[in-house]
Amino acid sequence: MLHLPRSARLAAWGSAALTGRATPDAAVRAITGSDEPHDVSGAEALLSGVDAAADSSPGGPAGTAGATLVQLFSVLASAGARCLRVALPAPGDPAGLPGPADFSAEAVEAGEAVLVDGELLLAEGVGRLGLVPEITWFGSAWEPGAAVTWRVFPTWSPRAPDGTTLADADRSLRTGLAEATRVLASLDVARWRDDAADRITAVREGALATHELPPGCPERAVRVVASAARVRAIVELATEDDGAAVSSSEALARARSLREVDGVARRALAVAVNTATAELSGTAPQP
């Protein structure tokens, strides 16, 4: 099965929860997956009315350490949020991050972030928020576990959109998928890695897990999300070693090609998820 970044799941399922398309509990189960229950840090210092909203939600006040995602949905709804968006930045590619610098730096280091769309009623006035996951891994390679804390940051107004549409992302992704498949086919890893052949087959034939996106997402957006997830899985597998490269220059060229393909997939994934969240929240532009 193919899986999405945690920020993509939070953006999609959080938008569904904020608009009543999914229950908060169902959204939390989909976002959390096999992780330990997610915590939220920093919301109590930013959101106006957080104590009243959180006191009535399961788990107690959000002012205590480790607020829950259910509490986050409650206080975001009270502050006027209806839609969440995902950003998937990389070093040298801020990919839609609005700033300020501390938020952008944290998001780039994590490789993902969630932006709350629109202005909210915050403790010190109207403003915007973003969230970045902090992931702590534990366990072993055979039984890994993850503890996740979503850190809440104030953000600036978003930059002007880059004009990329879902159709643009779909076309770019088809080219990226062809290149990623070519690179994967050139890998010479099956000879010395016992699991390589099985993993390559799993990536090629893998489908998007049904709980990764909530019901009601546009069909084309779901298809693009699945294709982008497949491309990123191929890139992850291909970057584990140098494959059939026989010189340092070939290895560098191959790594550069894979970074470019991953960039196409990252941007397509963000566009598709954000198209879906806009549709779920009723904020998609009318034709």
Q: Examine the domain organization and report whether 101 and 202 are in the same domain.
A: no
Which whole-number Å values give the CA distances from 71 to 45, 101, 147, in the listed order?
14, 27, 18
Residue 31 and residue 61 share a domain: yes
- Same-domain status, 21 and 150: yes
pLDDT per position as a tens digit, 134-175? 999 998 878 889 999 999 999 998 876 666 789 999 988 888
Q: Is there a single domain that holds both residue 156 and residue 210?
A: no
Distance in angstroms (rounded) separating the CA atoms of residues 115 and 134: 15
Specify if 1 maps to a domain: no
- pLDDT single digits (tens) 62-117: 443 458 999 999 999 989 999 999 999 999 998 889 999 999 999 999 999 999 99
Considering only CA atoms, which of 186, 276, 188, 190 is closest in space to residue 228?
Answer: 276
Q: Which domain holds residue 50?
A: 6-160
The total of structural domains in the chain comes to 2
In a domain, 26, yes or no: yes
DSSP 48-108: TTHHHHHHTSTTS-TTSSSB-HHHHHHHHHHHT---EEEE--BTTB-TT----HHHHHHHH
